């Protein structure tokens, strides 16, 4: 698997993702600046967490105009895998690659806590190494992670099994406890929790590794 980790000015999790996907998971990964205009040749594009362009407006509202965005859109439309984490999820919803929006957390404060999550759909390219109903614990670290979509959209998301991860104890007020979703085609995923922060036992857990291993399994055919 060859993965691109996008890096917007103000992204602060790009290096963490590079470490998780590269040395830890064992895939080939490299940082690609937001000024890039071509993403061909990659199997997976990761959109990292952080505060793109400072996020002084709505999170991701500026990043959606970054030079790389047309290439990202083309990459997704061609079926390439895209995973947006935290600010990456916010950017993907702002760009219209995923439905809904991320509002300020219910209590209007930033939250950094480990959160238990239920894997709702273990058949996606992002979660096939898990089992349906499995509870995994991943850290969250966000101020604007309160997922919102109108009822019709939420019902459609559920009908198409696009809700991939739900919070067990909804920390931020997200509609229907949603922590992560895919697009209808299943090749673009956004999630607020940070799988790249849960890939080493030394740092408290390896529950996030399955996401990267799932993608490697899909991209490389078989993953030992």
- Contacts with other proteins by CB under 8 A: the residue count is 31
Q: Taking the complex as a whole, how short is the minimal distance between the CB of residue 32 and other proteins, in angstroms?
A: 16
Site map (CB under 8 A) of other proteins, residues 185-204, x = contact = ---------x-xx-xx-xxx
Does position 210 bind other proteins by CB under 8 A?
no
86 is annotated as an active-site residue: yes
13 is annotated as an active-site residue: no
Q: Taking the complex as a whole, how short is the minimal distance between the CB of residue 68 and other proteins, in angstroms?
A: 16
The token pair at 47 is 């959109």
> Which CB sits closer to other proteins, 65 or 110?
110
Does position 143 bind other proteins by CB under 8 A?
yes
Which residue among 115, 144, 194, 213 is the active-site one? 194
Which residue among 13, 196, 213, 219 is the active-site one? 196
Q: H-helix or E-strand containing 54?
A: none
Nearest to 167 by CA among 154, 179, 157, 176: 179
| Pairing status of strand 2-7 against strand 44-47 | parallel
196 is annotated as an active-site residue: yes
Cα(7)–Cα(33) distance, rounded to whole angstroms?
5
Q: Counting Cβ atoms within 10 Å, is residue 181 exposed (0-12), middle (13-18) or buried (19+)?
A: buried
Q: Taking the complex as a whole, how short is the minimal distance between the CB of residue 156 and other proteins, in angstroms?
A: 33
Task: Please give, one letter per residue, the 3-state secondary structure of 80-116.
Answer: CEEEEECHHHHHHHHCCCCCCEEECCCCCCCEEEEEE
User: For the chain, what is the largest distance between any 2 Cα atoms, rounded to a whole number of angstroms?
Assistant: 44
Sole binder of other proteins in the list 141, 160, 170, 206 (CB under 8 A): 141
Do residues 137 and 195 touch, judged by C-beta distance below 8 A? no
Do residues 28 and 2 touch, judged by C-beta distance below 8 A? yes
Beta bridge partners of 189: 83, 182
Binders of other proteins in range 3-32 (CB under 8 A): 9-10, 12-13, 15-16, 19-20
Binders of other proteins in range 21-80 (CB under 8 A): 49-51, 53-56
Binding-site ranges for other proteins (CB under 8 A): 9-10, 12-13, 15-16, 19-20, 49-51, 53-56, 109-113, 139, 141, 143, 194, 196-197, 199-200, 202-204
User: Catalytic residues, which ones?
Assistant: 86, 194, 196
């Amino acid at each position: 698997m060859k993965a691109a980790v996008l890096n917007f000015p103000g992204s602060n999790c790009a290096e963490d993702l590079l470490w998780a996907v590269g040395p830890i998971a064992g895939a080939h990964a490299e940082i690609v600046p937001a000024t890039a205009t071509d993403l061909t040749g990659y199997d997976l594009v990761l959109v990292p967490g952080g505060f793109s362009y400072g996020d002084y407006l709505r999170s991701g509202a500026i990043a959606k105009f970054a030079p790389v965005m047309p290439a990202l859109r083309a990459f997704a439309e061609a079926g390439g895998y895209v995973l947006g984490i935290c600010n990456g999820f916010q950017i993907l919803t702002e760009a219209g690659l995923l439905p809904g929006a991320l509002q300020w957390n219910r209590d209007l404060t930033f939250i950094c806590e480990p959160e238990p999550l239920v894997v709702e759909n273990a058949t996606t390219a992002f979660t096939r190494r898990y089992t349906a109903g499995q509870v995994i614990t991943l850290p969250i670290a966000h101020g604007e992670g309160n997922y919102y979509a109108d009822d019709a959209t939420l019902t459609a998301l559920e009908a198409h099994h696009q809700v991939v991860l739900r919070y067990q104890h909804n920390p931020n007020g997200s509609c229907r406890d949603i922590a992560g979703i895919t697009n209808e085609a299943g090749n673009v995923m956004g999630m607020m929790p940070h799988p790249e922060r849960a890939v080493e036992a030394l740092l408290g857990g390896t529950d996030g590794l399955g996401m990267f291993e799932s993608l490697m399994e899909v991209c490389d055919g078989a993953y030992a």
